[in-house]
Chain A
């Protein structure tokens, strides 16, 4: 495999890996925010 090609592929793979993990964390954060909002609404209705 060409040296430059290897470097580019490795670079892309690395940042795609981080981006993928960040995407998962963002999705989880959105889910947590939604759950917090629904819980707050539930607590408000009980009061």
Chain B
């Protein structure tokens, strides 16, 4: 990552996080039925949306890698899938805590939750494949295919509440009784705030993968030259 960009992004992350915390606790009104537990929504929704963006980019760069066979696309896809997996995990955890309060259970086999869990397992498999010992090109091809298959589940998760009967609320969908303006401001700011965090983590990880790639190629060149010298 650019050396000047990193501190700027980090500063944006800290500042936006502080403002979003203020908005969550002091600006957004307390919901009448769920009380303070409803405020979990301001974390749950942004992490879920950014996980979808990550999986989308993982699939797009996976396809680019399959077509162009370039390592840089594979690295971007890898970084996005990894961060998407982290965000999907946090979505499931925060959702589970919210569900325990509002539904009385940690987990229920609701269509939205089930499709989200399937998505989580697909990208867990993706990360397992990443750790397997195999040729780099073969690994990137398999991972690209898994990323594309995984992304196919994203629209199902997003539209699950509209497609099937679900107890999960459909955000920005219900006519009347929707969100208060203060709640909308807060959730929009939280989505933007998590954007900085997402961008910073993604760029950091891409940069790290590039360094690993350079190390690997220099090492293999050294090994090759050593073998040549011995012959």
Q: In the A-B complex, list the 7 residue pairs whose CB atoms are closest, starting with the nearest.
A: A3-B35, A3-B37, A3-B36, A6-B101, A10-B97, A6-B37, A10-B40
In the complex, which residues 1-39 of chain A have their Cβ closer than 8 Å to any Cβ of chain B? 1, 3-4, 6-7, 9-11, 13-14, 17-18, 21-22, 25, 28-29, 32, 35-36, 39
Which A residues contact B (CB, under 8 angstroms)?
1, 3-4, 6-7, 9-11, 13-14, 17-18, 21-22, 25, 28-29, 32, 35-36, 39, 42-43
B86 close to A6 (CB less than 8 A): no
In-complex Cβ contact of B43 among A1, A11, A25, A39 (8 A): A11
A interface SS class: helix
User: What is the distance, in angstroms, from B15's C-beta to the closest C-beta of chain A?
Assistant: 16
Q: List, in ascending order, chain B residues with CB within 8 A of A29's CB.
A: 208
B219 close to A39 (CB less than 8 A): yes
User: What is the distance, in angstroms, from B207's C-beta to the closest C-beta of chain A?
Assistant: 9
Bound complex: CA of A32 vs CA of B86, how far in Å?
Answer: 22
Bound complex: CA of A16 vs CA of B83, how far in Å?
Answer: 15
Q: List, in ascending order, chain A residues with CB within 8 A of B40's CB.
A: 6-7, 10
User: What is the distance, in angstroms, from B43's C-beta to the closest C-beta of chain A?
Assistant: 5
**Closest A residue to B43 using CB positions:** A14
Bound complex: CA of A45 vs CA of B165, how far in Å?
Answer: 68
- Could you pull out 10 A-B pairs where Cβ atoms are within 8 angstroms? A1-B100, A3-B101, A6-B98, A11-B43, A13-B90, A17-B86, A18-B90, A21-B201, A29-B208, A39-B222
User: What is the distance, in angstroms, from A37's C-beta to the closest C-beta of chain B?
Assistant: 11
User: What is the distance, in angstroms, from B95's C-beta to the closest C-beta of chain A?
Assistant: 9
Q: List, in ascending order, chain A residues with CB within 8 A of B204's CB.
A: 25
With contacts A3-B34, A17-B89 known, is A10 near B98, CB below 8 A? Answer: yes
With contacts A6-B40, A32-B215 known, is A18 near B197, CB below 8 A? Answer: yes
Q: List, in ascending order, chain A residues with CB within 8 A of B86's CB.
A: 17-18, 21
B205 interfacial by beta-carbon distance below 8 Å: yes
Q: List, in ascending order, chain B residues with CB within 8 A of A7's CB.
A: 36-37, 39-40
Bound complex: CA of A3 vs CA of B208, how far in Å?
Answer: 40
Q: List, in ascending order, chain B residues with CB within 8 A of A3's CB.
A: 34-38, 101
In the complex, which residues 7-42 of chain B have their Cβ closer than 8 Å to any Cβ of chain A? 34-40
A28 close to B37 (CB less than 8 A): no
A35 close to B94 (CB less than 8 A): no
B114 interfacial by beta-carbon distance below 8 Å: no
**Closest B residue to A42 using CB positions:** B222
Q: Mark B187-231, 1 if CB is under 8 A from A, else 0.
A: 000000000010001001100100110010011001000000000
